[in-house]
């Protein structure tokens, strides 16, 4: 038993690169999937998909009803439109991003409430002048997070309206922006700089409806309609990836190279330690291929340990990171298969490189 452990230790040590790569892949994929599920959990469970388009030119909220009718939708269109406003209290004025929303918006944006409540359907229906702000805005305005029922004035293009703060939401760690959420219909569509319209459709109709929606918007406004990510929750990750794609690729590549190199080193050691046995096998007429297959199978079986370890470490890190960005990491069977295949690729590469020396093993 002891001797077997001595055989295994060099292989375990040399699997550090493998553990690192599997960990990184688990972290990335579980956060991505967790984010997607989180943003669309209501819809995924009903086999529905969310598509989003954005338009600068839409001037009237009536177009939403028109669009809904033309697309023959059952569900309402989810609105999230952005504009820059100034927000004033008796003491202070700050510039802030105001997001005009309807109540369905919360089903695609995963927000944690710190105080109060979110904007609901009734607020939209009655166009109540209520506002939910994020904790950064609360701190900027009042130096405290508990700002319920305080009144603030919003200036939009020389129009002034008073709002009551009905809720405060927690910021994900990546959010450095002051934001407030208001019922979208309190201001006319032309006041908003960007208007994102998200449409919930059955999954199989996703592409058809998307094309149709873009065409309707284009025919109406004759300007470019922007398609945006299906999962708004993942906009942060998408943006981060856009900015850091090279770094991500470099990290994965370095981890892969490091992993392969260390594994090749470990395998070399393992072959040296097993030299006597391999020589006997070769002498008794066992072909190199048979020996390789047996060793490969054994190695695959053994490498389950680093795989599980990598998955665990990656998932734990994903849980920690997810806690900061409000995403509960998830890892589906599909992603586990992807990670497993990558590991197999890894092992095959190491085996092909290190097993070349098998040819030179001789009985004397």
Partner 1 sequence: MKEVENIMIWAENLNMGQRPENFNIIVKRNEIVGITGLSTEEEQELFKIFGCIKKPAKGRYIFDYEDTSLLETSRLEAIRRDKIGYVFNSPRLFDNLCVLKNVTLWADYIHSRKKAYKMGMKILKELGMEEKSHFRIEQLNNLEKVLVSFGRALINKPLLLLIDDIFTYLRPYEVVEVYKLMMKLAHDNTTIIILANELDNISFVGRIVNL
Distance CA 288, CA 350 (A): 16
Cα–Cα distance for residue pair 200/208, rounded to 1 Å:
13
Spatial separation of the C-alpha atoms in residues 184 and 189, rounded to whole Å: 8
Please state the closest distance from residue 289 (CB atom) to partner 1, in A: 9
Compute the least distance from the CB of residue 351 to partner 1, in Å.
17
Cβ-contact 141, 152 below 8 angstroms: yes
Shortest separation between residue 286's beta carbon and partner 1, angstroms: 5
Residue 206 CA: distances (Å) to CA of 39, 71, 108, 132, 199: 17, 12, 16, 31, 9
Nearer to partner 1, 141 or 299 (CB): 299
| Minimum CB distance to partner 1, residue 344 (Å) | 23
6 vs 333, which CB is nearer to partner 1?
A: 6
**Angle ∠(183,42,336) on CA atoms, nearest 5:** 130
DSSP-assigned letters across all residues of 171-229: PPTT--S-EEEEEGGGS-GGG-SEEEEEEEEEGGGHHHHHHHHHHHHHHHH-SPPEEE-
> Is the CB of 215 or the CB of 277 nearer to partner 1?
277
Residue 324: both structure tokens together: 């900061």
Three-class DSSP category at 203: helix
Decide: 79 and 200 in contact? Cβ < 8 Å: no
126 versus 277: smaller Cβ distance to partner 1: 277
CB of 282 to partner 1, least distance (A): 8
Spatial contact of 364 and 274, defined as CB atoms under 8 Å apart? no
Residue 207 near residue 51, CB atoms below 8 Å:
no
Supply the minimum distance, in Å, between the C-beta of residue 313 and partner 1.
Answer: 31
- Minimum gap (Å) between residue 274 Cβ and partner 1: 9
CB of 13: closest distance to partner 1 in angstroms?
Answer: 19
* Beta pairing class for 179-183 and 93-101: parallel
CB of 251 to partner 1, least distance (A): 39
Is 244 or 283 the residue whose CB approaches partner 1 more closely?
283
Query: Measured from the CB atom, is 7 or 357 closer to partner 1?
Result: 7
Nearer to partner 1, 193 or 294 (CB): 294
Binding residues for partner 1, per CB under 8 A? 3-4, 7, 276-277, 280-281, 283-287, 290-291, 294, 363-364
Of residues 333 and 364, the one with the C-beta less far from partner 1: 364
Of the two residues 10 and 202, which places its CB atom closer to partner 1 in the complex? Answer: 10
Give residue for tokens 């053994």: 302
Angstrom CA distances, 227 to 81, 215, 306, stand at 15, 12, 41
Cα(338)–Cα(301) distance, integer angstroms: 17
Token code pair at residue 20: 């690192």
Show the tokens assigned to 25.
Answer: 């892949």
Q: Is the dihedral of CA 66, 70, 74, 77 positive or negative?
A: negative
């Amino acid at each position: 038993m002891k001797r077997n452990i001595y055989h295994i230790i060099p292989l375990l040590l040399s699997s550090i690169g493998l553990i690192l790569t599997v960990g990184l892949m688990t972290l990335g994929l579980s956060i991505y999937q967790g984010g997607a599920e989180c943003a669309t959990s209501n819809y995924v469970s009903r086999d529905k998909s969310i598509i989003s388009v954005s338009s600068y030119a839409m001037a009237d909220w009536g177009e939403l009803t028109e669009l809904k009718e033309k697309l023959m939708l059952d569900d309402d269109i989810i609105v999230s439109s952005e504009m820059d406003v100034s927000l004033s209290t008796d003491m202070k004025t700050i510039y802030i991003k105001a997001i005009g929303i309807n109540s369905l918006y919360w089903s695609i944006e995963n927000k944690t409430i710190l105080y109060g409540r979110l904007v609901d359907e009734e607020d939209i229906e009655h166009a109540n002048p209520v506002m939910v702000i994020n904790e950064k805005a609360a701190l900027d305005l009042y130096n405290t997070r508990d700002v319920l029922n305080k009144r603030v004035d919003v200036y939009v293009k020389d129009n002034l309206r008073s709002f009551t703060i009905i809720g405060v939401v927690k910021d994900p760690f990546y959010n450095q922006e002051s934001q407030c959420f208001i019922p979208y219909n309190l201001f006319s569509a032309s006041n908003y700089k960007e208007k994102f319209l998200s449409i919930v459709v059955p999954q199989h109709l996703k592409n058809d409806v998307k094309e149709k929606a873009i065409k309707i918007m284009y025919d109406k406004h004759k300007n470019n309609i922007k398609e945006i990510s299906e999962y708004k929750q993942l906009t942060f990750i998408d943006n981060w990836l856009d900015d850091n794609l090279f770094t991500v690729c470099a990290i994965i590549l370095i981890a892969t190279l490091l992993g392969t190199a260390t594994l090749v080193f470990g395998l070399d050691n393992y072959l040296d330690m097993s030299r006597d046995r391999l020589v006997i096998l070769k002498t008794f007429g066992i072909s190199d291929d048979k020996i390789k297959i047996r060793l490969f199978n054994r190695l695959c079986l053994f490498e389950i340990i680093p795989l599980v370890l990598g998955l665990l470490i990656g998932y734990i890190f994903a849980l920690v990171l997810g806690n900061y960005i409000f995403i509960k990491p998830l890892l589906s069977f599909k992603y586990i298969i992807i990670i497993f295949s990558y590991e197999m690729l890894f092992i095959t590469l190491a085996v092909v490189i290190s097993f070349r020396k098998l040819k030179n093993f001789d009985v004397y």
